[in-house]
Structure 1
Amino acid sequence: MKRILIATALALALGFAAAGASAQYTGPSAVPVMTVKALQADGKDDQHAVLRGKIVSSVGDERYLFSDGTGQMKVKIKARLWPAQKPVDAQTTVELVGEYDKKLIGESHFDVKEIRLQ
């Protein structure tokens, strides 16, 4: 009987943990929505930002070309971040949440932490 109670408690705890892991916050954020032009001109290394626009092409190795109408920037998106519920193409408007990786030498890019479909 004791084993059954422990197993049940463990199953419930794991179930609640899994349910919490899939929840997402959708309210307001202190991280600003920025344009590519503004981020490239004034952005600091490791600055958190949100970009809104379209992923226009793949350039290989988890890197994509992103455009928001003010400019274009390479973004790095890990495979696990792509939304499973809907495919993303060059016509899909997205919000990319992440950090600006500003390079002194070489090409700067935006390191994506989350993709939101619009």
Structure 2
Amino acid sequence: MKRILTATALTLVLGLAAAGASAQYTGPSAVPVMTVKALQADGKDDQQAVLRGKIISSVGDERYLFSDGTGQMKVKIKAKLWPAQKPVDAQTTVELVGEYDKELIGESHFDVKEIRLP
């Protein structure tokens, strides 16, 4: 009986810890909100930025086409980053937090670290 109570308590504690780990900071940030046009024109490799717009299509292998009205850019989003609380489609406005991967040869892209639903 004591083992069952200990196992139940441990499961409860781990469950609460996991729930707390999913919380996000939603306050101001020093990372600037940029446009695709500005990032493509003046962005530096590994520059941190926030993009606000829509993911308009999947292009395969964790890569998507993003548009903010000033231009389009491929973005890389790992499967674990997609928000569980709300599905995202081509009409959903998102904020993508990440860094610009500027390629000297080939196509540059934005490596997403977090998806926010404003």
TM-score bracket, shorter-length normalisation: 0.7 to 0.9
Residue deviations 1:54-109 (CA, integer Å, cap 9, x gap): 01111111100000000000000111111111111111100000010000000000
Secondary structure at 1:100 match in 2: strand
Instruction: Please state how far the C-alpha of 1:43 moved relative to its aligned partner.
Output: 0.5
Q: Report the TM-score, using the length of structure 1 for normalisation.
A: 0.86
Alpha-carbon separation, structure 2, partners of 1:70 and 1:117: 20
Partner of 1:14 in structure 2? Answer: 14
Q: Report the TM-score, using the length of structure 2 for normalisation.
A: 0.86
Residue deviations 1:34-62 (CA, integer Å, cap 9, x gap): 00000001111111100000011111111
What is the percentage of aligned positions where both structures have the same residue?
92
Alpha-carbon separation, structure 2, partners of 1:4 and 1:84: 31
Structure-2 change in CA distance of 1:7 and 1:89 (3 Å): closer
Alpha-carbon separation, structure 2, partners of 1:91 and 1:13: 38
Secondary structure at 2:40 match in 1: helix
Alpha-carbon separation, structure 2, partners of 1:59 and 1:116: 21
Instruction: Please state how far the C-alpha of 1:4 moved relative to its aligned partner.
Output: 9.9
Unaligned stretches of 5+ in structure 1? Answer: none
Instruction: Please state how far the C-alpha of 1:19 moved relative to its aligned partner.
Output: 3.9
More moved, 78-87 vs 90-99: 78-87
Equivalences, count: 118
Unaligned stretches of 5+ in structure 2? Answer: none
More moved, 80-89 vs 29-38: 80-89
Alpha-carbon separation, structure 2, partners of 1:12 and 1:87: 28
